[in-house]
Every structure is written in C-alpha cells, then in structure tokens.
A = this chain, B = another copy of it.
C-alpha cells in the first residue's frame, strides 16, 4: 500500500514538473521519506515511471476484460470500451498525463513490456472493428487505422477531461460513441439517426 501511495504521489509530481526535471530529492520530500526508504520501495526513478504506466494499463485492461465478458454486438462493445477508457482517463488524470508524455523515457525491458501491453489493448480495439466488418454491422474499413482514429479521439481527452470538472466520463463517452458508431456503420444498419 505504501508503494502504491508513492507511485500515486510521484504521478502528480511528474505531471506537474515533468519526469526528467524531477529529482529523487523532490520525490523524497513529496513522500516524506528518506532516499534509502524511497529506493527500498521503488528501486529507481525509472521503476517508478514504469509503475505509473502499469497502474494505467492495469485499469485499462481490466476495463477491456469486463467488456469482453459482457459480450454484445461490436457497436455495443465499442460503446462500452469507450466508457471504460474515458473512466480511467477521468479518474487518473495525472497518471495518464505522465503515461502519454513520458513513455519515451522507459528503456530496455520496461519499454518493451509497456509497448507490448499498449499493443495488446490496441489489438482488442482492432478486433472489435474486425468483428463488425465480418458481420456486416460495420462497413468495409481498415481495422488498424480505424482503431487508431478511435484511440486518438478517446485518449486525447486527457487534455480536458478532469475529475472534478463539469463533464463526467459518461457525458463524453455517449456522444463519442454516437459519432463513431454512426461513422463506421454498414449500409444495412437501420440505426436511429434522429
């Protein structure tokens, strides 16, 4: 629990000051810990950055698992995936900021692991588009490029979707799903366009 609290505190320090500009001394002060104790819990500054990434990816993948278990049509899957993703962005603004800005600072095995997890999530999104094309619910489209469009539209909300703001994750997820699902719908779909 102490380790998790350190990770969360570091996320807000990194989000405010930047990863490279933040020294271990600052992290010690923010956590009210000596250097020895901090290293005991986290190992290194880069390990801390990796832990922030994992915290986001754990939540994102849990959401994707819930969606897969819930089943439903590709359109329903897509709407649920969007709501889960925006919920993580809404609840973890600092972690997501660090996640999206500082991932190039991860090196070696940590960078590979992070890219692997990110790619795994992207594949889940692609699979939904592929399934929709296969069943004819979606029109013929490039599942990879369409997944990138969908990810951009949702991920980029980290700049303005904040816990404590006027918009909830659901306030945004619903109109976003409306745009995207209509945008990829196949010719046979008799969806409500009112």
Specify which chain B residues have a CB less than 8 angstroms from the CB of A149 in the assembled complex: 153, 175-176, 179
Q: List A175-194 residues whose CB lies under 8 Å from chain B.
A: 175-176, 178-187, 193-194
Q: Are B151 and A156 in contact (CB under 8 A)?
A: yes
How often does this chain occur in the complex, in copies? Answer: 2
The answer to the question of A31 belonging to the interface, with a C-beta cut-off of 8 Å to chain B, is: no
Specify which chain B residues have a CB less than 8 angstroms from the CB of A36 in the assembled complex: none
The answer to the question of A20 belonging to the interface, with a C-beta cut-off of 8 Å to chain B, is: yes
Shortest C-beta distance, A121 to chain B (Å), equals: 14
Range of interface residues on A (Cβ < 8 Å): 35 or more
Q: How many angstroms from the CA of A175 to the CA of B144 in the assembled complex? A: 11
Q: Are A193 and B183 in contact (CB under 8 A)?
A: no
The answer to the question of A141 belonging to the interface, with a C-beta cut-off of 8 Å to chain B, is: yes
Q: List A125-148 residues whose CB lies under 8 Å from chain B.
A: 139, 141-142, 145-146, 148
Specify which chain B residues have a CB less than 8 angstroms from the CB of A141 in the assembled complex: 175, 178-179
The answer to the question of A172 belonging to the interface, with a C-beta cut-off of 8 Å to chain B, is: yes
Q: How many angstroms from the CA of A193 to the CA of B184 in the assembled complex? A: 9
Q: How many angstroms from the CA of A149 to the CA of B177 in the assembled complex? A: 10
Specify which chain B residues have a CB less than 8 angstroms from the CB of A35 in the assembled complex: none
Specify which chain B residues have a CB less than 8 angstroms from the CB of A178 in the assembled complex: 141, 183
Specify which chain B residues have a CB less than 8 angstroms from the CB of A9 in the assembled complex: none
Shortest C-beta distance, A125 to chain B (Å), equals: 13
Contact of A175 among B145, B151, B172, B187 (CB under 8 A): B145
Q: Are A146 and B194 in contact (CB under 8 A)?
A: no
Q: Are A179 and B21 in contact (CB under 8 A)?
A: no
The answer to the question of A162 belonging to the interface, with a C-beta cut-off of 8 Å to chain B, is: no
Shortest C-beta distance, A137 to chain B (Å), equals: 13
